[in-house]
Amino acid sequence: MANHSICSVIATALLISVLALPTRVQAIGVCYGRLGDNLPQPSEVVDLYKSNNIGSMRIYDPNPDVLEALRGSNIQLLVGVPNDQLQSLASDSSAANAWVQSNVVAYWPSVSFRYIAVGNEVIPGDDAPYVLPAMQNVQNALASANLQGQIKVSTSVSTRVLGVSYPPSEGSFSSDTQADMNPIVQFLVNNGAPLLLNVYPYFSYKYNQAQISLSYALFTSPDVVVNDGPYGYQNLFDAIVDAAYASLEKVGGSSVEIVVSESGWPSAGDVETTIDNAGTYNQNLINHVGQGTPRRPGSAIEAYIFAMFNENQKDSELERNFGLFYPNKQPVYRINFS
């Protein structure tokens, strides 16, 4: 009887611990950019996500029509604070409270907010000093609404924050970003939030074709290309992510996870931008992220493909052709999210 009671206590404790674990969402989402004058209505876009088994979405501003369309969809959402609002939210806690009330609380819980990205690729730059205080004010506003446990606050950065990225184990934040990144990393540690990182092997390949092979960039290399101590790299994506992990570790951020907030390959507009290459990269990304990286094996990477649609109001032909779908909702190439 005593043994039975002990077993019951252990089983109950295990059940409680499992229930207390954060929900692990599908590893792959897609960025829903809206810089086009011929895109489908938000309700149609949400239906397209659901019909393709895309479980997560990134949007770059809290558009009310998109948020309304997401109600009840169970699509996990990464929503952005636009860069032009950072200064206001950094300097005025009441502005941050108003932002959270209008754009998050008003839709919670029927919209499944997961992350708030306070700025996109702001660091390094003139507005970089506003990022952390804006994050802090948004975090405090979430806490006032008792949502700090459900929604994590971060910022989305490009690989420009890295001063060293090769070999990956030598990764470190650049001297001109450390003043901003180091305290941001401590904020992420203290709040159990991830760093949002935009990862584009395509651009590394484009500008370094003499050093980087296409197969290494497309996940198609049959062998290890880069040996880095105990770690072997068959693809550039892992090398970039692990350089960022090494950078985090050097400034006390070993506990911070990386969420890849953008990654993709264009299907037209420049060197090696074919439909075949774009489809190969994105399908291989989907198939790969569950494995983790050499530095973090077995730890699935949450990643967002850029982007859902070809957007005709982007600046360049290259930027207009990152979409998985044409504006008429037909696929640019076949891709399987299941």
- Residue whose entry in the numeric block shows the structure tokens 């108003």: 98
- Which position among 262, 302, 311, 319 bears the catalytic label? 262
Confidence of residue 27 (pLDDT cuts 50, 70, 90): confident
> For the whole model, what pTM was predicted?
0.92
Give the model confidence (pLDDT) of 179-214 as tens digits.
999 999 999 999 999 999 999 999 999 999 999 999
Q: What is the 8-class DSSP label of residue 215?
A: H
Helices (H), the chain: 2-20, 42-51, 64-70, 86-91, 93-100, 128-144, 178-191, 201-207, 214-217, 236-250, 275-288
Is the pLDDT assigned to residue 7 strictly greater than 60? no
Per-residue pLDDT, averaged over 215-242, amounts to 98
> Would you call 247 helix, strand, or coil by DSSP?
helix
- Asked if 196 and 115 count as a contact pair (C-beta separation under 8 A), the reply is yes
- The pLDDT tens digits for 296-338 are 999 999 999 999 999 999 999 999 999 999 999 999 999 999 7
Catalytic site includes residue 121: yes
Q: How many CB atoms lie within 10 A of CB 209?
A: 13
Strands 162-164 and 226-228: unpaired
